[in-house]
Structure 1
Amino acid sequence: MLQKTRGIALSYIRYRETSIIARVYTEEFGLQSYIVNSVRTARSKNNRIALFQPLTLLEMVVYFKNDRDLHRLSEVKTNHPFQSLPFEVAKSTIAMFVTEILNKVLKEEAGSPILFRFLVDSVLFLEEARMNYENFHLAFLLKLSFFLGFGPESAREFENQLQENSYPFLLDPEMTTALNTMLRQPLGTPIALTRSARNELLDALVAYYQIHIDSVGEVKSVPVLREVLG
């Protein structure tokens, strides 16, 4: 049955000679995998494979059946072509990290319009931001944790949960202010963090996710993110 849905591209792998299998988080159906034919050829129209770069916002018409793990696309396009996210090093590095996290934590289940709207708004903020996005990945992880069911209510609760699981995280005034601001204020709210504090909080947030979701494991993009953003 043909269905319309919006989606966020997460990743893809090569499939046979000219096709890919794309993982897309959809508004209607949750996490889905789609065969996309004839996109890895010189004759591919309009460079369609670019539609499946990380975090691209998609408008799709799909063939959907509940009993299938792999679906097909009838139509796909984007109404939000990126102008900065894939081309600016800091933004593309953040996108790589966010995509890796989403691939690890999003599950194959029914769609969640509220979570989908949060993800779309976050992607659009990162695409359009000209300043105050150096802490985006940190605030994003904190806010995402609430949708996943384990968001901390305060900096102190975040610290306590880490310490209860033998992770050596100690708050200081700078970190307390930063965490509480990220928890309570919109993305892009200016927050003063030193390079070392930003890296410390990144490691603590990844550990926090590893505590709550077994499938997180090693996050391979962290060293690159630490180097680029600090």
Structure 2
Amino acid sequence: MIRKTSGLVLSSIRYKDTSIIVKIFTRELGLKSYLINGVRSMGKGSKMALYQPLTLLDLVVYNKENSGLQRISEAKLQRAHQRIPFDFSRTSIALFMTEVINRSIYENYQNESLYDFLSESVVFLDQEETVLAHFPLVFLIEKSKYLGFSPEDAEGFILESDKQPFSHEELPLTLNYLQTLVVEKYQCSGKVSGFLRRKLLDHLLDFYAQQMENPSSFKSLTVIRQVME
């Protein structure tokens, strides 16, 4: 069956000499793996740029039930990124986002509200005025709502965790900052030290690991901590 859908590219791996297998989180069909032949061929006709992480696409796909690898009939760029591919900080955050997404959804998982949030987050990341120091924290906080394990309030991110890494002096500052992140989201203008931002990032990742039973470390964590200094 041929279907139209929008999609967010998450990752790709090489397949044979000129092909790739790409994971795309589609709005209507969920997370799918697509085999794309000849895309790595040299020349002007190469469409490899379409399948970079966090690229937003308009797709026409062949959707076969009970089939592991699907096929794409047509792929068009929905929105060209102006800053993400050319700015080290934004590229680093994009890689972090894809790693978090890949760990939290599974093949065929479908959630239109989550898709809409992710696509909006990509647009915010590409905007010049977005404050990048807060971005990974807001992304984790907001994403947990769509995955169903967000606490009822900001304080819950601390109280509902198995770990309590904040000192008596740090806790009021952290709670106040968390509340600001929850309310202001990507427009957050809160001012806290880079040390506290990084500590909160580590805590939120621990919180995710507890909820999703996935304790392994993030490969992009070292780089993303530098962005939050």
Q: Match for 1:221: what amino acid?
A: S
Q: Match for 2:66: what amino acid?
A: D
TM superposition shift of 1:5: 0.6
Decide which moves more: 4-13 or 181-190. 181-190
Deviating beyond 6 angstroms after TM superposition, the runs of 4 or more aligned structure 1 residues are none
Q: Secondary structure, in 3 states, of the residue corresponding to 2:79?
A: coil
Conserved? CA contact 2:22–2:33, under 8 Å: yes
TM superposition shift of 1:112: 1.8
Q: Match for 1:127: what amino acid?
A: D
C-alpha offsets along residues 123-179 of structure 1, whole Å, 9 cap, x if unaligned? 1011123242321110010000011111122232111122xx245345523211211
Conserved? CA contact 1:6–1:60, under 8 Å: yes
Decide which moves more: 127-136 or 202-211. 127-136
The residue number in structure 1 matching 2:69 is: 70
The residue number in structure 2 matching 1:211 is: 210
C-alpha offsets along residues 92-115 of structure 1, whole Å, 9 cap, x if unaligned? 110010110001101223522211
Decide which moves more: 121-130 or 52-61. 121-130
Q: How far apart, CA to CA, are the structure 2 residues paired with 1:154 and 1:49?
A: 42
Q: Match for 2:200: what amino acid?
A: L
Q: Match for 1:10: what amino acid?
A: L
Decide which moves more: 171-180 or 96-105. 171-180
- Does residue 51 (structure 1) correspond to residue 46 (structure 2)? The answer is no
The residue number in structure 2 matching 1:193 is: 192
TM superposition shift of 1:216: 5.6
Query: 5+ residue gaps in structure 1?
Result: none
Conserved? CA contact 1:101–1:216, under 8 Å: no
Structure 1 residues 74 and 112, CA, compared in 2 at 3 Å: closer, same or farther?
same
Q: Secondary structure, in 3 states, of the residue corresponding to 1:7?
A: strand
- Does residue 33 (structure 1) correspond to residue 33 (structure 2)? The answer is yes
Give the aligned length. Answer: 227
Q: How far apart, CA to CA, are the structure 2 residues paired with 1:188 and 1:7?
A: 25
Q: How far apart, CA to CA, are the structure 1 residues paired with 2:130 and 2:173?
A: 21
Q: How far apart, CA to CA, are the structure 1 residues paired with 2:166 and 2:51?
A: 37
Decide which moves more: 95-104 or 131-140. 131-140
Alignment of 1:151-190 (within 5 A): 151-162=150-161, 165-170=162-167, 172-190=171-189
Query: 5+ residue gaps in structure 2?
Result: none
Structure 1 residues 151 and 19, CA, compared in 2 at 3 Å: closer, same or farther?
same
Q: How far apart, CA to CA, are the structure 2 residues paired with 1:201 and 1:78?
A: 35
The residue number in structure 1 matching 2:24 is: 24
Q: How far apart, CA to CA, are the structure 1 residues paired with 2:187 and 2:112?
A: 23
Alpha-carbon RMSD across the aligned residues, in angstroms, is 1.5
Report the TM-score, using the length of structure 1 for normalisation: 0.93
C-alpha offsets along residues 57-87 of structure 1, whole Å, 9 cap, x if unaligned? 0111111011111101111011201110111
